[in-house]
A and B are shown apart, each in its own frame.
Chain A
Amino acid sequence: MTEAVIEAQDVSRHFGQVQAVQGLDLRVERGLIYGFLGPNGSGKTTAIRLLTGLLGPTRGKINVLGLEIPRDADKLRRHIGYMTQKFSLYDDLTVGENLDFIATIYGLSSHARRARIDALLQTYELTDKVDRLAGSMSGGQRQRLALAAAVLHEPELLFLDEPTSAVDPENRRDFWEKLFDLSAQGTTILVSTHYMDEAERCHKLAILETGVKRADGSPEQLMSAMGAKVVELAAPGLRQLKKTLIALPEVISAAQLGARLRVLVSDRVADPIAFLRNQADVPADSELSLTRASLEDVFVTSTGKRAAS
């Protein structure tokens, strides 16, 4: 087993009556892109704040890069980068001033500052925006600026909290290319998201719901260990059919995708196609086929809900 950079045991945090994170066990190995997948309010931000020492846990043990958190949070600062969910650089400073501020805070000499900032502007395609006020830029540009600021001191561990929530799909793809570049250079990345397609790009991920980790592993592991098969069914009258199928105890969920119905059938049923054909309401001329499970199916089986997206 490779070295773990993040280890958490039975970590909980509540705010009054709200259980934001409950009994979280976590192990993130060096070099991975590790995802937190969950809908809004599932505790992703709170979990990241606990791991970075911004919040103290109500219960549990946290160890990040060999440091006990939150006790040694001050020592951790130089080794981690954190991109907050809400843009947290200064709207009334320019791109260059923001980066220069962060670089000075991290103690870079004025010569080193200039070289590092020039390189970052190049990498994150901000060179021509250097004199723009951060507050006047688009979501994608601000996101690239925030990432540049988070990696400025070349941290070995990077926390990204829903980095693509304010960004269009094309920019999201570009952004992930940058993450893979960072990962290839040896940075361990923990990223939270509520997008299935993003979660699928992670090496490993944890599915969170109402503060509880429902499942974790690589996307492939999660899909094969899902405990259900996916059948796609094409037939007329899908809306009525969906209702009757969902009522069956062996059917975990059924969702309409255009002209087809995507049905998750529990592994307790040996032959799901035959099982569905035998249902009285399924028309004889329906087309039925087994398909590969997606992460969304994993999410549905482990949480009992469809994702918000």
Chain B
Amino acid sequence: MSGLLRIWAVLRKELTQLRRDRVTFGMIVMIQLIQLLLFGYAINTEVRHVPVGVVDQSQSGLSRVLLQMVEATQVARVTRHFTSMEEAEAALRAAEVRAVLIIPKDVDHRVARHPSVGLGLPPSTDEETSRPVAQWLVDGSDTLIAAAIKSLRNMPLAELLDKPANRGVPTFEVALLYNPEQRTAVNIVPGLVAIILTMTMIMFTSAAIVRERERGNMELLITTPVRSMELMVGKIAPYILIGAIQVTIILGIGHVLFRVPINGDLLHLAAVTLLFITASLTLGLIISTIAVNQLQSMQMTVFILLPSILLSGFMFPYEGMPVAAQYIAEALPATHYMRLVRGVVLRDVAITHMWPDMLWLAGFIVAGLAVASMRFKKRLD
């Protein structure tokens, strides 16, 4: 009973301070708005309009049509024309263009012999039919750009000769569920909830406690009857509310601005989110028992945040990562929440079907609180 009263005292104090701290309060809203817009608009794994250069050694009508076809794919945009290979390579090195298309002198001849054109001319030797029409020189350091240019490898050539395209029957039929239009934002926005919560929840709690120690408030608090656990619960409770506000804003704006569907049950969404918020707050508490000043708590937050962005499945699919990275990812609460939130929001999975991730988060909270209150001694040394 008096324990509850003490928790209430800490909680109310925390809310009053938060209300006065305009900057922090503004950050709570602004950070995520900016991130949402940045990530929502900027992150696009579909590469388009790569600036490329051309070395056209044939200068024929055919080569001009070929260029138009390349541009029509929207993958590449011809920005430069070079007269020599040296010039082209220099521009590639200077990153003025990301790839160079070299059209050889005998391009007409090569096109005519190309099997995809299917002119059925006098039998050509194997060597001749296996010769490509032109060559791409790509800055391969960025694998996404390289992959985009590679996708042009089998660009159909039939149109070049005004022949109907030879559309063969595909080996597989692919039906795209949950995100049929293949918009990146649909996958990014729910993931962004996990990333923003990871950042703000860990940062705010760890800083809130470390600040108290830095300013000397802790010396007074520990001479009062307040218990470690009461202090911690009282301190993190207001942030649960703030976390809930953040999720509402991100998904709300994501829904309106980026047409992200909310397919799942809102109650299920609330349940998994509450678990994750509490897990992140617990992590912040643990950090606060290790860091001695706010700079350190900030550094430790970033130390957790970076792998959460890179390994949680937010940027790259979990399944594609090396096994070692998967182990690290499994240790991060963000990875588990990433699965849960995408599951509920995009695929309408009932949380009863995702209990391993739920259980993991619950276990993390219990263990984390135990570790934090063990480390948080009511002593100065």
| A90 CB contacts on chain B under 8 angstroms | 13, 17, 217
B352 lies within 8 A of chain A by Cβ: no
B219 → A minimal CB distance (Å): 5
Which of A78-86, A168-176, A239-247 contacts the other chain?
A78-86
Query: Could you tell me if B9 and A54 are in contact, using CB atoms closer than 8 angstroms?
Result: no
Among A74, A87, A97, A149, the residue within 8 A (CB) of B378 is: A74
**Chain A residues near B (Cβ < 8 Å):** 49, 52-56, 70, 73-74, 77-78, 80, 82, 84, 86-93, 97, 101-102, 104-107, 149
Query: Could you tell me if B223 and A52 are in contact, using CB atoms closer than 8 angstroms?
Result: yes
B330 → A minimal CB distance (Å): 39
Query: Could you tell me if A92 and B20 are in contact, using CB atoms closer than 8 angstroms?
Result: yes
In the complex formed, the residue of A with least CB distance to B3 is A107
11 contacts between A and B (CB under 8 A): A54-B379, A77-B223, A78-B225, A82-B220, A84-B220, A86-B219, A89-B220, A102-B224, A104-B8, A106-B224, A106-B225
B154 lies within 8 A of chain A by Cβ: no
Q: From DSSP, what is the main secondary structure of chain B's interface residues?
A: helix
Query: Could you tell me if A92 and B378 are in contact, using CB atoms closer than 8 angstroms?
Result: no
- Give the distance in Å from the alpha carbon of A107 to the alpha carbon of B239 in the complex: 24
In the complex formed, the residue of B with least CB distance to A107 is B2
In the complex formed, the residue of A with least CB distance to B223 is A82
B16 lies within 8 A of chain A by Cβ: yes
**Chain B residues near A (Cβ < 8 Å):** 2, 5-6, 8-10, 12-13, 16-17, 20-21, 215-220, 222-226, 378-381
B16 → A minimal CB distance (Å): 6
| B223 CB contacts on chain A under 8 angstroms | 52, 54, 77, 80, 82
Query: Could you tell me if A55 and B380 are in contact, using CB atoms closer than 8 angstroms?
Result: yes
Query: Could you tell me if B13 and A70 are in contact, using CB atoms closer than 8 angstroms?
Result: no
A109 → B minimal CB distance (Å): 9
Query: Could you tell me if A56 and B381 are in contact, using CB atoms closer than 8 angstroms?
Result: yes
In the complex formed, the residue of B with least CB distance to A94 is B16
A201 → B minimal CB distance (Å): 25
| A78 CB contacts on chain B under 8 angstroms | 225
- Give the distance in Å from the alpha carbon of A88 to the alpha carbon of B223 in the complex: 11
Query: Could you tell me if A107 and B6 are in contact, using CB atoms closer than 8 angstroms?
Result: yes
- Give the distance in Å from the alpha carbon of A91 to the alpha carbon of B223 in the complex: 19
Query: Could you tell me if B21 and A101 are in contact, using CB atoms closer than 8 angstroms?
Result: no
- Give the distance in Å from the alpha carbon of A199 to the alpha carbon of B218 in the complex: 28
Query: Could you tell me if B380 and A49 are in contact, using CB atoms closer than 8 angstroms?
Result: yes
Query: Could you tell me if B225 and A55 are in contact, using CB atoms closer than 8 angstroms?
Result: no
- Give the distance in Å from the alpha carbon of A97 to the alpha carbon of B16 in the complex: 9
- Give the distance in Å from the alpha carbon of A73 to the alpha carbon of B377 in the complex: 12
Query: Could you tell me if B5 and A104 are in contact, using CB atoms closer than 8 angstroms?
Result: yes
| B6 CB contacts on chain A under 8 angstroms | 104-105, 107
- What are the 4 A-B residue pairs with the smallest beta carbon separation, nearest first? A104-B9, A88-B220, A107-B2, A82-B223
Query: Could you tell me if B225 and A107 are in contact, using CB atoms closer than 8 angstroms?
Result: yes
- Give the distance in Å from the alpha carbon of A237 to the alpha carbon of B219 in the complex: 52
In the complex formed, the residue of B with least CB distance to A146 is B220
| B217 CB contacts on chain A under 8 angstroms | 88-90
- Give the distance in Å from the alpha carbon of A179 to the alpha carbon of B9 in the complex: 29
A214 → B minimal CB distance (Å): 26
| A149 CB contacts on chain B under 8 angstroms | 220
Query: Could you tell me if B16 and A93 are in contact, using CB atoms closer than 8 angstroms?
Result: yes
| B12 CB contacts on chain A under 8 angstroms | 101, 104
In the complex formed, the residue of B with least CB distance to A88 is B220
| A102 CB contacts on chain B under 8 angstroms | 224
| A107 CB contacts on chain B under 8 angstroms | 2, 5-6, 225
Query: Could you tell me if B378 and A84 are in contact, using CB atoms closer than 8 angstroms?
Result: no
Among A70, A77, A87, A91, the residue within 8 A (CB) of B379 is: A70
A179 → B minimal CB distance (Å): 19
Query: Could you tell me if B8 and A77 are in contact, using CB atoms closer than 8 angstroms?
Result: no
A46 → B minimal CB distance (Å): 10
Query: Could you tell me if B379 and A55 are in contact, using CB atoms closer than 8 angstroms?
Result: yes
- Give the distance in Å from the alpha carbon of A35 to the alpha carbon of B362 in the complex: 52
Query: Could you tell me if A54 and B13 are in contact, using CB atoms closer than 8 angstroms?
Result: no
In the complex formed, the residue of A with least CB distance to B227 is A74
The CB with the most chain A CB atoms within 10 A, among B217, B220, B226, B380, is that of B220
| A92 CB contacts on chain B under 8 angstroms | 17, 20-21
- Give the distance in Å from the alpha carbon of A132 to the alpha carbon of B2 in the complex: 29
Among B17, B216, B225, B381, the residue within 8 A (CB) of A105 is: B225
| B216 CB contacts on chain A under 8 angstroms | 84, 86-88
| A91 CB contacts on chain B under 8 angstroms | 215
- Give the distance in Å from the alpha carbon of A106 to the alpha carbon of B221 in the complex: 11
Query: Could you tell me if A54 and B380 are in contact, using CB atoms closer than 8 angstroms?
Result: yes
- Give the distance in Å from the alpha carbon of A88 to the alpha carbon of B381 in the complex: 18
In the complex formed, the residue of B with least CB distance to A133 is B20
| A54 CB contacts on chain B under 8 angstroms | 219, 222-223, 379-380
- Give the distance in Å from the alpha carbon of A220 to the alpha carbon of B369 in the complex: 55
- Give the distance in Å from the alpha carbon of A48 to the alpha carbon of B225 in the complex: 18
| A84 CB contacts on chain B under 8 angstroms | 216, 219-220
| B215 CB contacts on chain A under 8 angstroms | 88, 91
- Give the distance in Å from the alpha carbon of A93 to the alpha carbon of B223 in the complex: 19
- Give the distance in Å from the alpha carbon of A54 to the alpha carbon of B222 in the complex: 8
Query: Could you tell me if A105 and B224 are in contact, using CB atoms closer than 8 angstroms?
Result: yes
| B378 CB contacts on chain A under 8 angstroms | 73-74
- Give the distance in Å from the alpha carbon of A102 to the alpha carbon of B8 in the complex: 12
A170 → B minimal CB distance (Å): 26
Query: Could you tell me if A93 and B13 are in contact, using CB atoms closer than 8 angstroms?
Result: yes
B215 → A minimal CB distance (Å): 8
